[in-house]
Structure 1
Amino acid sequence: MTSKKEAALERGDGLNEIERLDREFVFGTWSYQSEVSPTQIIGAEGVRFTDADGNERIDLSGQLMCSNLGHSADAVADAIASQAREGAYFAPGFTTEARARLGEKLAEITPGDLSKTFFSTSGTEAVEAAIKIARFYTGKRKIISRYRSYHGATYGSISVTGDPRRLMAEPGIPGMIKAPDPYAYGSTLDPMQSLDYIEEMLMLEGDTVAAVLVEPIVGSNGILVPPDEYLPNLKRIAHEHDALLICDEVMSGFGRTGEWFGCDVFDVAPDIMTMAKGLTGAYAPLGATIVTDEIASYFEDNMFCHGHTYSGHPVAVAAGLAAIEAYQENDVIDHAREVGSYLGERLDELATNHPSVGDTRGVGLFRGIELTKREDDRKPFGRREDKVSKGSTVVDEVAAEAYAQGTYVANMINTLIIAPPLTITEADIDEAVGTLDAALDVSDAAMDE
C-alpha cells in the first residue's frame, strides 16, 4: 500500500519534495486545499527573498505586511538567539529584563497616556484582549466595528471583522455590530457621512456600546485612508456616548505610515491600542494590547481576567525590544516617510500610464493600487465574495505576472497592497515599479470595451 508521504512525493504537480510534503501535511491558510501550491523559500536578505529554484524577488508587500525591518535585521536575530540561550521560556508570573523594558518602551513611543501592556503572540490575540478589556472596564458588551475591516481569525476577532472571511465562522460571539467605512471609492456614503452613521448607531444602541474598534488606516481590505478629521471626530463621538476608542495598529504600526503608528498620522491617542507584525519586524510572533493609565488603574482592584501560557514569551519580547531599538537607532521611520513619498509618486505615474488603475492611495510605505475594468465608473475586477470563492481573478493574474517578473505583491479583493520593508531604497522601488508596469498590461487588456 502506498503511504500518504509516498503519494505526496509521486504527485506530478510541479512542486519539489519539500513543497509536496508541505502541501500534503500542512493546512494552507484561508484557502481551498485543492488550490494550495506552496513555494519553498531558502533565503532572504534586505528587501529580497530567494526560492528553491534560485529565483530572487523584491518583497514589495513585506510578506504579509509585517517584515518592516526587512530580512537582514541581525540585531533582532542576535537578541533572539541570546535570550533563547539565557532562558527560552518562563511562566508569565516571572519576568525578564526584555519584557519589562519592552513595556517601558511601548509606553514611551505610543501616543497619549497609553502606558500598560498585555503581551500575547499575535494580532488576533491582541484584539481578543482589547475586546475583553473594554468589556471589563465599561461593564458593557457591544463593540462597533466596520464592514471593510480585518481584525483576526479567532472567534472574538473574526466576529468584529467585517470582510467576508467572517461569514463561515458566524454567528460568532454576540454584541458585535458593523458600521460603514470612510471609503470614497466604493461606498454609497461620503467618508464623513459614514461617521454620522456611527454616531446615529451609538445613539440608537443606547448606553450599551463598550467600544468602537477601527483600523486607523484599513489594511487588507484596501488601504483605505480616511479624511484628516475622521479619526479625531470618531474619538469625540465615541467618548460622548461613553464608549472607548480601540485602534487596531497590527498592520499600520511601527513606521508603516512614516509615523510610529497610524493614529499618529491623525494626531489621535486611542484608549486601547493593539499591535503585532512590525512589533518584532516579524522575527518572532508577538502581539500587544496597551491601555491608558485610567484603564490600567481600574485593574488594580478589579481582576484582570485574561492570560496566555506564552504571554510575554522571553524570546518574543527580546525580539520586540531589539526591533524598536533598531527603528530608533537606524532612523528607519524617518526613512520610511521619505521613501514613502517617492513610492507614492511612482505609483501615481503607473495610474497615468494604465487605464485599469482606478485609484492609488496610501500613506508612507502603506499604499494600494485599486484596479478597474471600466474606467468611467470604476467597476472593480474583484468582488468581496472573491475572498471566499474558488478560482483566480484578474487581480490575482496581475500579481502572478509581477511575481514572474521578479516582484512579490500581495493582493486583496481588488487592490494590490504595496507595503515593503521600511528599509527599501528608491532604486529598489524603481525596479519593483518597472515590474508592476509590465504586470498591469494584464489588467489593461482585460478591461471592458
Structure 2
Amino acid sequence: MSSKKETAIEQDDNLNEIESLDREFVFGTWSYQSEVSPTQIVRAEGVRFTDAAGNECIDLSGQLMCSNLGHSAEAVAEAIASQAREGAYFAPGFTTEARARLGEKLAEVTPGNLSKTFFSTSGTEAVEAAIKIARFYTGKQKIVSRYRSYHGATYGSISATGDPRRLMAEPGIPGMIKAPDPYAYGSTLEPMQSLDYIEEMLMLEGDTVAAILVEPIVGSNGILVPPDEYLPRLKELAHEHGALLICDEVMSGFGRTGEWFGCDVFDVTPDIVTMAKGLTGAYAPLGATIVTDEIAAHFEDEMFCHGHTYSGHPVAVAAGLAAIEAYQEDDLIDHAREVGSYLGERLVELETDHPSVGDTRGVGLFRGIELTKRKDEREPFGRREHKISKGSTTVDEVAAEAYEQGAYVANMINTLIIAPPLTITEAEIDEAVDALDAALDVSDAAMDA
C-alpha cells in the first residue's frame, strides 16, 4: 500500500511544486476547486510584488483592497516582531500598552463621538459584533442591509450580505431584510428613490428594526458612490424609526477614500463602525467594532455578552497601532486624496479611449471601471450569477491580460476594482494605467457588433 494519500486532483503542468502542493492540500476560497490555480508570490516591495515565474506587477487592487500601506511598512513589521518577542499572546482579560493605545487612537481618528472598541480578527467578525451590539442595545432583532453588499462570510454577516455568494449559505440567521442600493447604472430606481423605498420598509416593519447596515461606498459589488445627501438622510431615517446606523468600513476605511473613513466623505458619524483590512494594512489579521459614547454607556450596567479568544491579540493590535502611526506620520490620507484625484482623471481617459468602458466611478484611491458590451444600453459582460457559476467572463480575461501587462487588478462581477496602496505615486499610476489601456483592448474586441 502506498504511504502517500491518494488524490483525485489531476496535476497541472503549469503549476510549480509549491503551487501544486497548495492546490492539493488547501481550499481555494469562493471557488469550484477544479478551477483553482494558485500563484506563488516570492517577493513584494512598495506597490509591487513578484511571482515565482518572475512576473512583477503593480498591486493595483492592494491585494483584496487591504494592503493600504503597500509591502514595505517596516515600522509595522518591526512592531509585530517586537510584540511577539515581548509577549505573543495574553487572554483578553489582560491588556497591553498597544491595545490600550490603539483603542485611544481609534477614538481619535474616527468621526464624532465614536469612542469604545471591541477587537476581533477580521471584518466579518467585526460585523458580527456590530449586529449583536445593535440587538443588545435596542432590544430589537431586524437588520436592514442592501442587495449589492458584502459584509463577510460567517453566518450573521453572510446573512446580511446581498452579494449572490450568500445564496449557498441560506437560510441564514433570522431578521435580515434586504433593501435596494443607490446604483443608477444597474437599478430601476434612481439613487435617492432607493431611500424612499427604505423609508417605506421601516414604516411597514414597525418598531422592530435594530439597525441599518451599509457600506458608505459599496466595495466588492461595484464601487458604488451614493449622492452626497444619501448617507446623512439614511441616518436620519434610521433614527426616526428607532434604529441605529452601522457603517461597514472594512474596505473603505483608513485613507482609501482620501479621508480616514468613507463616512467622512459625507460628514456622517454612524452609531457603530466596523473596520479591518487597512486597520493593519493587512500586516496582521485584526478587526474592530467601535461604538458611540451612548452605546458604550449602555453596557456599564448591561452585560456585553460577546468575546473571542483572540480579541485584542497583542501582536495584531501592535500592528494596528503602528499602521495608524504610519498613516499619520507619512501624511498618507492627504496623499491618497491628491493622487486619487489624478487616478480618477486617468481612468476617465480610459473611458474616453475604450468603448467597452461603460462607467468609471469612485473616490480617492477607491475606484471602479465597469465594462459594457453595448455602450448605448450599458449591457454588462458579467452578471451577478457569474459570481457563483463556473467558467470565466470577459471581465476575468481583461484582468488576466492586465496581469500579463504588469498590473494586478481584482474584478468583481462586471467591475475592475482599483484600490492600490496609499503610497502609490503618479508615475506608478501612469504605469498601471498603461497596462489597463492594453488590457481593455480585450473587452473592446468582445463587444457586440
Q: 2 CA distance for matches of 1:3 and 1:181?
A: 55
| Partner Cα distance (1:381, 1:323) in 2 | 38
SS at the partner of 2:67? coil
Per-residue Cα deviation, 1:138-189 (whole angstroms, up to 9, x for no partner):
0000000000000000000000000100000001000000000000100000
Conserved in 1, the CA contact under 8 Å of 2:111 and 2:269? Answer: yes
1:358 maps to a residue whose letter is G
Which amino acid counterpart does residue 275 of structure 1 have in structure 2? M
Aligned residue for 2:296, secondary structure, equals helix
Counterpart CA distance in 2 for 1:298 and 1:3 is 59
The CA distance in 2 between the partners of 1:428 and 1:8, in whole Å, is: 43
Residue 55 of structure 1 and its aligned partner are, at CA, apart by 1.5
Which residue does the alignment assign to 1:80? 80
Tell me how far apart the structure 1 counterparts of residues 5 and 83 of structure 2 sit (CA, whole Å).
36
For 2:396, the equivalent position in structure 1 comes to 396
**Structure 2 counterpart of 1:137, which letter?**
Y
Matches within 5 A, 1:30-109: 30-109=30-109
Q: Distance in 1 between matches of 2:353 and 2:8?
A: 45
After superposition, the C-alpha distances for 1:188-246 in whole angstroms (9 at most, x for unaligned) are 00000000000000000000000000000000000000000000000001000010000
Contact 2:159 2:172 in 1 (8 A): yes
Correspondence for 1:116: 116
Contact 2:9–2:24, Cα closer than 8 Å, also in 1? no
Q: Which residue of 2 aligns with 1:162?
A: 162
Q: Does the C-alpha gap of structure 1 residues 4 and 346 become closer, same or farther in structure 2, counting only changes over 3 Å?
A: farther
2-structure distance, mates of 1:370, 1:286 = 31
How many angstroms apart in 1 are the aligned matches of 2:444 and 2:9? 39
Shift of 1:6: 8.2
Aligned pairs for 1:315-334 within 5 A: 315-334=315-334
Q: Quote how far apart the aligned CAs of 1:375 are.
A: 0.9
Distance 1:440 1:6 in 2: 43
Q: Tell me if the contact between 1:274 and 1:288 (Cα under 8 Å) persists in the aligned partners.
A: yes
Please state if 1:367 is matched with 2:389.
no
* CA–CA separation in structure 1 for the residues paired with 2:316 and 2:29: 23
Match of 1:246, SS?
strand
Aligned-pair CA distance for 1:4: 5.2
1:199 and 1:342, CA in 2 relative to 1: closer, same or farther beyond 3 A?
A: same
Aligned to 1:131: 131
Partner residue of 1:212? 212
Distance 2:285 2:314 in 1: 11
Is the partner of 1:158 in helix, strand or coil?
A: helix
Aligned to 2:172: 172
Task: Give me the whole-angstrom Cα distance separating, in 1, the residues matched to 2:426 and 2:3.
Answer: 51
Distance in structure 2 (CA, Å) of the matches to 1:405 and 1:8 = 34
SS at match of 2:360: strand
Cα displacement (A) at 1:263: 0.2
SS in 2 for 1:307: coil
Q: Which residue of 2 aligns with 1:340?
A: 340
Unaligned runs of 5+ in 1: none
> What is the SS of the residue equivalent to 2:53?
coil
1:213 partner SS: strand
The aligned counterpart of 2:430 is 430
Check the 8 A contact 1:255/1:333 in 2, yes or no.
Answer: yes
In the aligned structure 2, how far is the partner of 1:47 from the partner of 1:252? Answer: 19
Paired letter, 2:358: G
**Residue 336 of structure 2 contacts residue 422 of structure 2 at CA under 8 Å; is this kept in 1?**
yes
Q: Report if the CA contact (8 A) 1:8-1:24 is conserved.
A: no
Change (3 A) 1:9 1:358: closer
Contact 2:118 2:311 in 1 (8 A): yes
User: 2:300 is matched by which residue type in structure 1?
Assistant: E
* In structure 2, C-alpha distance between the alignment counterparts of 1:73 and 1:8, rounded to whole Å: 41
Structure 1 residue 12 displacement after superposition:
3.9
Q: What's the TM-score once normalised by structure 2's chain length?
A: 0.99
1:140-159 alignment runs, 5 A limit:
140-159=140-159
Deviation string, structure 1 residues 43-76 (Cα, Å, up to 9, x no partner): 1000000111221110000000000000000000
* Residues 92-147 of structure 1: per-residue CA shift (max 9 Å, x gap): 00000000000000001100100000000000000000000000000000000000
Could you tell me how far 1:255 is from its partner in structure 2? 0.0
Q: Give the match for residue 443 of structure 1.
A: 443
Q: What TM-score do the two structures reach when normalised by structure 1?
A: 0.99
Gaps of 5+ in 2: none
Question: Is the CA contact 1:146–1:178 (under 8 Å) kept in the aligned structure 2?
Answer: yes
**Contact (CA 8 Å) 1:9, 1:20: kept in 2 or not?**
no
Partners of 1:151 and 1:55 in 2: CA distance:
33
Cα distance in structure 1, aligned partners of 2:171 and 2:10: 41
Matches within 5 A, 1:379-394: 379-394=379-394
Alpha-carbon separation, structure 2, partners of 1:214 and 1:9: 40
Tell me the SS of whatever aligns to 1:255: coil
How far apart, in 2, do the equivalents of 1:292 and 1:97 lie?
23
Percent of paired sites with the same residue: 90
Amino acid corresponding to residue 84 of structure 1 in structure 2: A
Partner of 1:295: 295
Name the count of aligned residue pairs.
Answer: 449
Cα displacement (A) at 1:10: 8.2
Matched, 1:280 2:289: no
1:8 and 1:167 mapped to 2: Cα distance? 28
Q: Structure 2: how far apart are the matches of 1:9 and 1:19?
A: 13
What root-mean-square deviation, in Å, do the aligned CA atoms of Structure 1 and Structure 2 show?
1.1
- SS of residue in 1 equivalent to 2:263: helix
User: Which residue in 1 is equivalent to 2:189?
Assistant: 189
Name the stretch that deviates more: 113-122 or 7-16. Answer: 7-16
The alpha-carbon deviation at position 5 of structure 1 amounts to 6.5
What does the per-residue CA deviation read over 1:275-307, in whole Å, with 9 as the maximum and x for residues that have no partner?
A: 000000000000000000000000000000000
Does the Cα contact within 8 Å between 1:142 and 1:210 map onto a contact in 2? yes
Q: 1:5 to 1:398 in 2, by over 3 A?
A: farther
Q: Distance in 2 between matches of 1:35 and 1:417?
A: 22
User: How far, CA to CA, are the matches of 1:397 and 1:2 in structure 2?
Assistant: 41
Q: Mean alpha-carbon deviation: is it higher for 47-56 or for 131-140?
A: 47-56
* Counterparts of 2:97 and 2:438, CA distance in 1: 50
Is the Cα–Cα contact under 8 Å of residues 114 and 293 in structure 1 kept in the other structure?
yes
